[in-house]
Amino acid sequence: MARRSDHSREELREMAITAAEQIVVEQGYEGLSARKVATAIGYTVGTLYLVFENLDDLILHINARTLDRLHAHMNESQLHCGDASDCLLQLGQVYIRFADEDPHRWAMVFEHRFSEDQVVPVWFQEKIARMFALVEKGLEPLAEQHTRDEITQASRALWGGVHGICILALAGNLGVAGVDSVQDLTKTLITNYLKGFTNN
């Protein structure tokens, strides 16, 4: 077992997050435990908790990395898209593709339930907010008759629908709804939502 002085606090933090991510990728977030992470990096659980407050704190940092990657993909999709509707369709397709390619880490962001005394820090909330900001930015050119609050609400409603499609797809339940293509369903949702949004 490695001694505590073998690595700095920052090195331990990086090692733990990387090891935890690998466990989640291979076993799903249900398979993650402090003991598994500590074993993977060659330290005790007690040492792990010198770096993180608890397992929820570690999961917050894993989720933060996942959100950073997702935001980077979403942001990149906006660099060369066409009109506003095309840009929003690109965002939806990127989101669906990301969830499909990295299902366990994506699921942990939205499905893990933190303990009641775990406070979600502002820096983490800001990572979620900036993704919604991309959707709001995409809606703005189509929303001349809408207020800022209406645009904000619309971004949440639209993305809630895309997120629901993700959940159905990853659970293998799209067939129950009589749908074959997750991308086609996403396009239908966004296209029809935008028709209603721009006509109101």
Let me know if residue 139 belongs to a domain: yes
pLDDT digits (tens, 9 = 90+) for 118-141: 788 999 999 999 999 999 999 999
In this prediction, residue 175 carries a pLDDT of 64
Is 127 found in the same domain as 48? no
Count of domains for the chain: 2
In this prediction, residue 1 carries a pLDDT of 44
The CATH number covering residue 124 comes to 1.10.357.10
Is 182 found in the same domain as 106? yes
| Predicted TM-score (pTM) of this structure | 0.88
CA dihedral of 160, 185, 67, 57, whole degrees rounded to 10: 60
pLDDT reading at 2 higher than 70: no
Is 112 found in the same domain as 30? no
Where does residue 117 rank: exposed (0-12), middle (13-18), buried (19+ CB within 10 A)? exposed
Is 101 found in the same domain as 29? no
Contact 29/112 with Cβ under 8 angstroms? yes
pLDDT digits (tens, 9 = 90+) for 34-74: 999 999 999 999 999 999 999 999 999 999 999 999 999 99
Of the residues 26, 52, 78, which one is the last residue of a structural domain?
A: 52
Closest CA to 59 of 85, 37, 42: 37
DSSP 10: H
Q: How far is CA 151 from CA 60, 92, 132, 164, 186, in A?
A: 28, 17, 10, 20, 20
pLDDT reading at 3 higher than 60: no
Is 35 found in the same domain as 93? no
DSSP code string of 88-146: HHHHHHHHHHHHHHSHHHHHHHHH----TT----HHHHHHHHHHHHHHHHHHGGG-TTS
Is 71 found in the same domain as 8? no
Is 80 found in the same domain as 113? yes
Is 180 found in the same domain as 121? yes
Is 82 found in the same domain as 6? no
Output helix, strand, coil percentages for the chain, rounded to the nearest 5.
Answer: 80, 0, 20
The CATH number covering residue 34 comes to 1.10.10.60
In this prediction, residue 5 carries a pLDDT of 60
CA-to-CA distance for 104 and 23, rounded, in angstroms? 10
Paired tokens of 82: 């066409």
Let me know if residue 82 belongs to a domain: yes
Is 71 found in the same domain as 34? no
Is 4 found in the same domain as 71? no
CA dihedral of 128, 26, 99, 56, whole degrees rounded to 10: -20
Least confident of 21-25, 122-126, 174-178, 187-191: 174-178
Let me know if residue 59 belongs to a domain: no
Let me know if residue 57 belongs to a domain: no
Let me know if residue 169 belongs to a domain: yes
Is 77 found in the same domain as 43? no
CA-to-CA distance for 25 and 13, rounded, in angstroms? 18
Q: For residue 11, what are the domain limits?
A: 1-52
Let me know if residue 58 belongs to a domain: no
Paired tokens of 2: 């490695």
